[in-house]
């Protein structure tokens, strides 16, 4: 069986976890957490990166830092993971779902303005498959209406928009290091803070409402409770696992890009015949090969293809059920305008096996079986 996902592993993870244990510092903000934070800051150019227990928690931190209040509206796509909405719903925020572009599966930047009301507080673009949303237009609208922007860059580590790292363009960016992502610590994420003025508030929030970070920098004699907060620090053992991959980020990305390009080239004839659709990467976007997907004609065809590939020993999966049609989505949010593409495209999309170490012959086998399906 060719599995859909295999968590990344370089071989150095055990050594680094052992080092964390031997250093007698396995709680948060140890030497490996610091290495990861510094790597993210250097890689992206963000003012500050803070490793967190998950991307969900990074997004929750962004909602808290924006002081989201009951009734505040937050514009986002419906085609996303539940955490994008939950982070704001937990604060009493009201998700306003906007339709997606069928080419990138990203929030349609041309539909955002119509969704803005006097209650709108923020826009949350989700960079699907590590391909950037049209951030120039989104930031222009944010400036016009004085809205905050929180980038859900869970899938966007090592992706860029016009030379800018995803997660650094809006006020806050959120990374994921879940086991399904390009770089993993099992469960984990990071909050990226664009403006230095917001760093101290984020540190206090992450450190249980204390000024502990200032204490360790020698800026105060002792630390105490100074504001609301929680514990968003991952164990340094998790960070040690992640560091083994971040220091090999270029090699991991190149490996995944090789698989992505092989899929595209081998499935291109089916696209040219009009049988399937393949991913689109707009000009100015540099993607990270987080996933490779194709689109079948409709839900019926996709279901048949999944079953066919399963029989051939290949695990493939569909992705999100649009949030606006879910029980909680109906209760906590609303859809702005027409659902022209969100539901239709979500029913067509199929994700193929993609992970670090996927073999060339495995990619070829998957592509061959897909071509075989369409030749029946």
Q: Rounded CA gap, 373 and 318, in Å?
A: 17
Same structural domain for residues 148 and 225? Answer: yes
Q: Are 42 and 54 in contact (CB under 8 A)?
A: no
How many residues comprise the chain? 376
Would 194 be classed as within a structural domain? yes
Residue 81 φ/ψ, nearest 5 degrees: -75, 155
pTM score: 0.96
Query: Which of 190, 214, 246 is at the close of a domain?
Result: 246
Q: Are 290 and 182 in contact (CB under 8 A)?
A: yes
DSSP code string of 104-155: T-SB-GGGHHHH--TTEEEE--B-GGGPPP-HHHHHHHHHHHT-EEEEE-TT
Cα three-residue angle 318-319-321, rounded to 5 degrees: 110
What is the span of the domain harbouring residue 32? 13-246
Same structural domain for residues 226 and 278? Answer: no
Same structural domain for residues 204 and 261? Answer: no
Same structural domain for residues 181 and 149? Answer: yes
Which of 249, 280, 253 is closest to 264 using CA atoms? Answer: 280
**372's tokens:** 């075989």
HSE-up of 209 (CA within 13 Å, CB side)? 7
DSSP 277: B
**6's tokens:** 């295999």
Q: Which residues is 49 bridged to in the sheet?
A: 192
Between the alpha carbon of residue 356 and those of residues 54, 255, 289, 305, 314, the distances in Å are 21, 6, 10, 24, 17
Same structural domain for residues 170 and 279? Answer: no
Would 265 be classed as within a structural domain? yes
Would 115 be classed as within a structural domain? yes
Which of 215, 235, 234 is closest to 224 using CA atoms? Answer: 215
Q: Are 337 and 114 in contact (CB under 8 A)?
A: yes
Same structural domain for residues 269 and 367? Answer: yes
Query: Which of 246, 266, 288 is at the close of a domain?
Result: 246
Cα three-residue angle 129-134-136, rounded to 5 degrees: 140
Would 8 be classed as within a structural domain? no
Same structural domain for residues 188 and 142? Answer: yes
Same structural domain for residues 60 and 135? Answer: yes
Would 183 be classed as within a structural domain? yes
Same structural domain for residues 174 and 232? Answer: yes
Q: 24: domain CATH number?
A: 3.40.640.10
Same structural domain for residues 41 and 120? Answer: yes
Count of structural domains, the chain:
2
The pLDDT tens digits along the chain (376 residues) read 999 999 999 999 999 999 999 999 999 999 999 999 999 999 999 999 999 999 999 999 999 999 999 999 999 999 999 999 999 999 999 999 999 999 999 999 999 999 999 999 999 999 999 999 999 999 999 999 999 999 999 999 999 999 999 999 999 999 999 999 999 999 999 999 999 999 999 999 999 988 877 766 667 767 888 899 999 999 999 999 999 999 999 999 999 999 999 999 999 999 999 999 999 999 999 999 999 999 999 999 999 999 999 999 999 999 999 999 999 999 999 999 999 999 999 999 999 999 999 999 999 999 999 999 999 8
Q: Are 147 and 121 in contact (CB under 8 A)?
A: yes
**190's tokens:** 């990071």
Same structural domain for residues 190 and 266? Answer: no
**126's tokens:** 């989700």
Exposed, middle or buried: residue 132 (CB in 10 Å: 0-12, 13-18, 19+)?
A: buried
**200's tokens:** 């101290």
**259's tokens:** 């698989």
Same structural domain for residues 280 and 327? Answer: yes
Q: 319: domain CATH number?
A: 3.90.1150.10
């Amino acid at each position: 069986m060719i599995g859909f996902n295999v968590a990344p592993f370089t071989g150095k993870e055990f050594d680094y976890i052992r080092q964390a244990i031997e250093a007698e510092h396995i709680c948060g903000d140890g030497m490996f957490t610091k290495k990861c934070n510094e790597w993210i800051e250097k890689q992206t150019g963000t003012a500050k990166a803070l490793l967190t227990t998950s991307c969900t928690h990074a997004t929750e931190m962004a909602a808290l830092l924006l002081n989201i209040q009951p009734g505040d509206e937050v514009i986002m796509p419906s085609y996303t993971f539940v955490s994008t909405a939950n982070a704001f719903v937990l604060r009493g925020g009201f998700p306003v779902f906007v339709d997606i572009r069928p080419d990138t599966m990203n929030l349609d930047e041309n539909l955002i303005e119509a969704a803005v009301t006097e209650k709108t507080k923020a826009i949350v673009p989700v960079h699907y498959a590590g391909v950037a949303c049209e951030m120039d237009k989104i930031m222009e609208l944010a400036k016009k209406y004085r809205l905050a922007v929180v980038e859900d860059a869970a899938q966007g580590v090592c992706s860029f928009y016009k030379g800018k790292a995803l997660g650094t363009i809006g006020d806050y960016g959120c990374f994921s290091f879940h086991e399904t992502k390009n770089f993993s610590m099992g469960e984990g994420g990071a909050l990226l803070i664009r403006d230095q003025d917001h760093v101290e508030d984020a540190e206090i929030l992450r450190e249980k409402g204390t000024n502990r970070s200032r204490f360790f920098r020698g800026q105060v004699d002792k630390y105490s409770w100074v504001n609301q907060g929680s514990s968003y620090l991952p164990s340094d053992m998790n960070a040690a696992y992640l560091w083994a991959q971040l220091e090999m980020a270029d090699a991991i990305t190149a490996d995944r890009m090789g698989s992505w390009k092989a899929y595209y080239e081998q499935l291109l004839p089916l696209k040219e015949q009009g049988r399937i659709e393949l991913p689109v990467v707009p000009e100015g976007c540099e993607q990270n090969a987080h996933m490779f997907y194709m689109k079948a004609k409709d839900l019926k065809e996709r279901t048949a293809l999944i079953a066919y590939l399963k029989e051939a020993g290949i695990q493939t999966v569909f992705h999100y059920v649009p949030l606006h049609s879910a029980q909680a989505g109906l209760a906590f949010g609303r859809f702005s305008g027409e659902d022209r593409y969100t539901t239709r495209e979500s029913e067509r999309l199929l994700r193929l096996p993609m992970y670090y170490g996927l073999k060339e012959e495995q990619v070829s086998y998957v592509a061959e079986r897909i071509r075989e399906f369409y030749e029946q």
